[in-house]
Amino acid sequence: MTTLQTSETPPPPVETPKPRGRGRGRGGRSDVKVLSSLAHIALLVWAIIVLAPILWTFLSSFKSVEEIFSSPWTLPAQLRWDNFERAWTTAHVGRYLLNSILVVSLSTFGTMLLGSMAAYVLARYKFWFNRPIYFLFVSGLAFPVFLALVPLFFVVKNLGLLNSYTGLILVYIAYSLPFTIFFLSAFFKTLPNTVAEAAIMDGAGHVRLFFQVMMPMARSGLVSITIFNIIGQWAQYQLPVVLMSGNRDKWVITQGIADISVNAGFEADWGGLFAALTLAILPMILVYAVLQRQIQAGLTSGAVK
């Protein structure tokens, strides 16, 4: 008995269409590489522009007056620590640094407390005049400081707060609130509603919900805006000159540096001036270097969420 064997013929091969525009894709990738290279070059140039003056300041703080003008970019022949001693004692930089730390610490704390509460309410609650109040705060970003110096001087004087830390701290808080509310309100909107609803179901009130639930969730954004406020208030010059010009013992670091620069023009103590600048710059560099990861996380977490 014979069996009939059938063989299945394989299906004809399917021709895959060739991708079109391959050359265009390679050209697109090459364009991206060119743009990336140009971006890196631009960042390198920008880094040099920023770092060169700081490096020059650090080098000049250890040099004599002759070395500063004859060889500004070379290493100092010897480390002249007496420049820092004169800046700390004779120019009273130590006192000015302590004054700045006191003022900036209290003003930053007040700014973050009031700004975070206002931003949270404006971002998470719906009520009448919500958006007008928000735009009223944000409009402060477009108001230059120097336009308000004269009326601000008389307002602080009428309140009896001229030449006082209280008046300067309140003004710092007022001028830091617009950016703080603008930044944090956008950040609070990205936080999930499920966690807040769960906390409310567990019996948490509005105050407890904000301080124990929402603020820890927004820690990265709070850290970022805190660093920005510290740097901005530390480098503020116009407001202290107008509001704290009377009592030298209460001057902040920017007033002290300006006074040293004026005296250096007559006494030619450029080494002491650069030493004072180094002492004023180092705290901000250390703060930014330590909290760099938190700053980057706060700036990018809103986009990721």
Tokens of 273: 């001036």
Cβ neighbours around 10 below 10 Å, total: 6
Amino acid at 245: S
Checking 278-283 for CB contacts under 8 A at 24+ apart, the result is: 278/57, 278/58, 278/61, 278/84, 279/84, 279/87, 279/88, 279/93, 279/97, 280/93, 280/97, 280/253, 280/254, 281/54, 281/57, 283/97, 283/234
Tens of pLDDT, residue by residue over 231-258, are: 899 989 889 999 988 788 889 999 888 8
Evaluate if residue 278 carries a pLDDT over 70: yes
Which residue is it, tokens 């390198």?
A: 44
Residue 199 has what pLDDT? Answer: 84
Phi, psi at 272, each rounded to 5°: -65, -35
CA distances to 188, 195, 218, 220 from 198, rounded to whole Å, are 17, 5, 17, 22
Domain at 82-304: CATH architecture: Orthogonal Bundle (1.10)
Mind listing the pLDDT tens digit for each residue in 105-140? 999 999 999 999 999 999 988 888 999 999 999 888
Tell me the domain boundaries of the chain: 82-304
Determine the pLDDT at residue 181.
Answer: 94
**Considering the entire predicted model, what is its pTM?**
0.79
- pLDDT, residue 76, reads 86
**% the chain with pLDDT above 90:** 29
Residue 195 has pLDDT above 70, yes or no: yes
Quick check: 176 pLDDT over 90? yes
